[in-house]
């Protein structure tokens, strides 16, 4: 017969085992290097008279993965839209907002999320480096939208409190007191405190856990007894412990704005979902030709990519009209003419007259006209065009500079390599400048290697990531030297560059033997 003590001991052990059995597994990021993870993202805000939406596909490609962390390259875009609550159609113009950000459906204001960017995370999901920008609540920082910082100790509950900045956009009239209805956007950077709490719960199956998230953001600026801006919310993230990535999120929050005689509350819903199968393939079609990390396992079939229309030469009548339009006093006419030239097949005998007509547009007051002219130089340009393009790398508008980088990559004149490397050291437009340099391949190695000697850690990291792709044994010595003293956020990139070069060089050595 069992004693009462034995019965109690067995009961206690069974209770303990039951407790551990119900304890959810700690999530851990396990991205696969070279794999692209595709997410459908939707951000919806309920304004007084309309619903504002940002909706689209974002792709997160694991560029590098090692025991210290991982680098994700974010690409894609969210498209803003709005819908009247009374069923009326919105006109295709006019400014509206989603959260704290304004849009008007024009190329100048909308779609701010197209530029790919690399973000380095440690193994627990904390950001080590994110280029030249810091995460900002309510500005929808999509580079880290799917990544949450996990508990360093594997706890079931954890939290973070961080100083941050809320970017608050307001509208103000271009001509105060005038009859014009034109407005400009005024941005206010408000210092704030962000507190995020997490707790783990069992998932719906053995392969998932649920991360419950609570958020509170308060600005230091007060209006009476209330913060100027306050954001509170909670939601759940489904984390796949087998894949090591988040599967979905539904997060509801309230944006509260306090003014002198008014308090405005805006409900918001933020969601994402990992796409798989045919949904994923369909979303990756536009990326298949540009994602250099795509592999046979994550690239959709080539037949899904729509064929590019073949450029056709202009007729004499078309060319004469376009050359005349380039001299027009109307901005739209000039810009359209330049764009038509960029899409036409190049005819060598007409290059000189085309380039002569384009030259004045490079200094045009309209940024889109300058960008169109630069784009055209990428196809019709010659050696003299490269000199002009290099000078335009200092243009005040980023869209023009991006067009310059693309044009230089298209022309492949090696005189552009050194200026591109020097520009990369300034810290501006890192991704576009890097993309242009990468197109030159090993020819850019010497100039890029020099950047390892820069004191700025962002420049060192960009150089290491470039050498990972284009470097040879010539740059190994400089990479290994910097590795001894480099900042921790750079060592990750240096180690990956050294490994990649050694793997590329080893087959060559074996062949010589």
Tell me which residue of 470, 431, 416 sits closest to 448, measured CA to CA. Answer: 470
Please report the pLDDT score of residue 489 as a whole number.
77
Output DSSP code: residue 23: S
DSSP 74-103: EEEEEEEEEEETTSPPPPS-S-EEETTEEE
Question: Which of 143-147, 161-165, 183-187, 215-219 comes out lowest in average pLDDT?
Answer: 183-187
**Percent of the chain predicted with pLDDT > 90:** 50
Alpha-carbon distance of 39 to 32, in angstroms, equals 16
pLDDT, one tens digit per residue, over 183-211 is: 777 888 899 999 999 999 999 888 999 99
DSSP 330-369: -HHHHHHHHHHHHHSPP-GGGHHHHHHHHGGGGG-SSHHH
The stretch 71-79 carries a mean pLDDT of 85
The neighbour count for residue 129, using CB atoms within 10 Å, is 19
Contacts of residue 29, Cβ cutoff 8 Å, sequence gap at least 6 = 70, 121, 123, 124, 125, 147, 150, 244, 245
Q: Which long-range contacts (CB under 8 A, 24 or more apart) does 504-507 make?
A: 504/472, 505/472, 505/473
Tell me which residue of 485, 488, 439 sits closest to 466, measured CA to CA. Answer: 439
Please report the pLDDT score of residue 90 as a whole number.
64
Q: How far is CA 253 from CA 14, 152, 190, 293, 446, in A?
A: 41, 26, 19, 36, 50
Q: How confident is the model at residue 222 (pLDDT cuts 50, 70, 90)?
A: very high
Please report the pLDDT score of residue 140 as a whole number.
66
Please report the pLDDT score of residue 442 as a whole number.
94
Output DSSP code: residue 307: P
Question: Which of 170-184, 200-214, 291-305, 432-446 comes out lowest in average pLDDT?
Answer: 291-305
Question: What six digits make up the tokens of 36?
Answer: 């692209």
Please report the pLDDT score of residue 389 as a whole number.
95
Q: How confident is the model at residue 302 (pLDDT cuts 50, 70, 90)?
A: very low
With vertex at residue 224, the alpha carbon angle to CA 219 and CA 230, rounded to the nearest 5 degrees, is 30
pLDDT, one tens digit per residue, over 42-66 is: 999 999 889 999 999 998 989 888 8
Please report the pLDDT score of residue 232 as a whole number.
96
**What pTM did the predictor assign?**
0.58
Return the axis-axis angle of helices 457-470 and 430-438, rounded to nearest 10°: 30
Q: What is the mean pLDDT of the chain?
A: 83
Which stretches within 2-96 are classed as H helix? 4-22
Please report the pLDDT score of residue 229 as a whole number.
95
CATH placement of domain 23-304: 2.30.230
Q: Is 412 left (phi over 0), alpha (psi -120 to 50) or beta?
A: left
User: What are the residues facing 202 on neighbouring strands?
Assistant: 209
The stretch 143-172 carries a mean pLDDT of 89
pLDDT, one tens digit per residue, over 307-339 is: 556 788 899 999 999 999 999 988 889 999 999
How far the first Cα of the chain sits from its last, in Å, is 78
Alpha-carbon distance of 357 to 353, in angstroms, equals 6
pLDDT at 508 > cutoff 60: no
Question: Which of 99-103, 122-126, 475-479 comes out lowest in average pLDDT?
Answer: 99-103
Q: How confident is the model at residue 81 (pLDDT cuts 50, 70, 90)?
A: confident
Please report the pLDDT score of residue 93 as a whole number.
60
The phi, psi pair for 294, rounded to 5°, reads -65, 140
pLDDT at 418 > cutoff 50: yes
In the three-class reduction of DSSP (H, G, I as helix; E, B as strand; rest coil), residue 48 is classed as coil
Alpha-carbon distance of 471 to 446, in angstroms, equals 9
The stretch 92-103 carries a mean pLDDT of 78
pLDDT at 139 > cutoff 50: yes
Which span out of 6-10, 142-146, 211-215 was modeled with the highest average pLDDT? 211-215
Output DSSP code: residue 7: H
Please report the pLDDT score of residue 167 as a whole number.
85
Question: Which of 107-116, 245-254, 467-476 comes out lowest in average pLDDT?
Answer: 107-116
In the three-class reduction of DSSP (H, G, I as helix; E, B as strand; rest coil), residue 466 is classed as helix
Please report the pLDDT score of residue 200 as a whole number.
95
Please report the pLDDT score of residue 236 as a whole number.
96
pLDDT, one tens digit per residue, over 236-256 is: 999 999 999 999 999 999 999
The neighbour count for residue 485, using CB atoms within 10 Å, is 8
User: What are the residues facing 162 on neighbouring strands?
Assistant: 194
Please report the pLDDT score of residue 385 as a whole number.
93
Q: Is 102 within 8 Å of 120 (Cβ atoms)?
A: no
pLDDT at 466 > cutoff 90: yes
Q: Is 252 within 8 Å of 276 (Cβ atoms)?
A: no
pLDDT at 298 > cutoff 70: no
Domain assignments of the chain as residue spans, ordered by start = 23-304, 316-512
Question: What six digits make up the tokens of 128?
Answer: 């080590």
> Strands 229-240 and 222-223: what pairing?
unpaired
Tell me which residue of 303, 273, 272 sits closest to 285, measured CA to CA. Answer: 303
Alpha-carbon distance of 95 to 7, in angstroms, equals 72
The phi, psi pair for 82, rounded to 5°, reads -150, 155
pLDDT at 425 > cutoff 60: yes
Contacts of residue 315, Cβ cutoff 8 Å, sequence gap at least 6 = none
Q: How confident is the model at residue 125 (pLDDT cuts 50, 70, 90)?
A: very high
pLDDT at 105 > cutoff 60: no
Domain boundaries 316-512, CATH class: mainly alpha
């Amino acid at each position: 017969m069992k004693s009462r003590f034995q019965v109690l001991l067995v009961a206690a052990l069974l209770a303990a085992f039951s407790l551990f059995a119900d304890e959810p597994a700690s999530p851990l990021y396990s991205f696969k290097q070279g794999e692209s993870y595709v997410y459908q993202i939707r951000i919806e805000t309920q304004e007084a008279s309309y619903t504002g939406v940002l909706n689209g596909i974002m792709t997160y490609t694991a560029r590098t993965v090692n025991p210290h962390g991982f680098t994700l390259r974010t690409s894609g875009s969210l498209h803003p839209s709005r819908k009247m609550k009374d069923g009326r159609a919105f006109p295709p113009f006019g400014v509206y907002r989603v959260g704290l950000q304004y849009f008007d459906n024009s190329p100048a204001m909308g779609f701010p999320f197209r530029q790919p960017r690399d973000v380095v995370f440690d193994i627990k999901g904390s950001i080590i480096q994110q280029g030249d920008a810091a995460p900002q609540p309510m500005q929808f920082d999509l580079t880290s939208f799917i990544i949450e910082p996990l508990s360093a100790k594997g706890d079931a509950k954890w939290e973070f409190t961080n100083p941050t900045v809320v970017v608050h956009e307001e509208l103000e009239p271009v001509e105060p007191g005038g009859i014009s209805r034109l407005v400009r956007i005024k941005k206010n950077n408000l210092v704030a405190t962000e507190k995020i709490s997490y707790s783990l719960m069992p998932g719906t199956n053995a392969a998932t856990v649920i991360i419950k998230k609570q958020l509170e953001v308060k600005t230091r600026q007060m209006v009476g007894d209330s913060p100027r801006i306050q954001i509170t919310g909670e939601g759940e993230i489904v984390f796949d412990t087998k894949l090591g990535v988040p599967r979905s999120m539904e997060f509801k929050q309230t944006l509260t704005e306090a003014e002198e005689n008014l308090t405005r509350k805006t409900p918001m819903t933020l969601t994402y979902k990992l796409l798989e199968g045919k949904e994923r393939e369909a979303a990756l079609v536009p990326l298949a030709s540009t994602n250099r990390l795509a592999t046979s396992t994550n690239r959709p079939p080539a037949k899904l990519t729509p064929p590019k229309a073949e450029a056709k030469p202009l007729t004499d009548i078309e060319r004469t009209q376009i050359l005349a339009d380039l001299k027009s006093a109307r901005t739209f006419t000039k810009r359209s003419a330049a764009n038509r030239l960029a899409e036409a097949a190049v005819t060598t005998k007409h290059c000189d007259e085309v380039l002569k007509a384009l030259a004045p547009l490079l200094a045009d007051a309209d940024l889109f006209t300058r960008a169109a002219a630069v784009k055209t130089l990428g196809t019709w340009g010659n050696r003299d065009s490269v000199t002009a393009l290099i000078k335009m790398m200092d243009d005040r508008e980023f869209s023009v500079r991006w067009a310059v980088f693309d044009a230089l990559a298209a022309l492949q004149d090696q005189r552009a390599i050194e200026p591109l490397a020097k520009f990369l050291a300034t810290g501006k437009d890192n991704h576009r400048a890097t993309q242009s340099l990468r197109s030159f391949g090993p020819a850019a190695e010497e100039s890029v290697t020099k950047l390892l000697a820069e004191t700025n850690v962002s420049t060192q990291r960009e150089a290491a990531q470039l050498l990972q792709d284009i470097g040879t044994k010539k740059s190994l010595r400089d990479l290994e030297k910097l590795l001894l003293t480099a900042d921790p956020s750079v060592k990750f990139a240096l180690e990956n560059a050294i490994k990649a070069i050694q793997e590329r060089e080893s087959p060559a050595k074996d062949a010589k033997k």
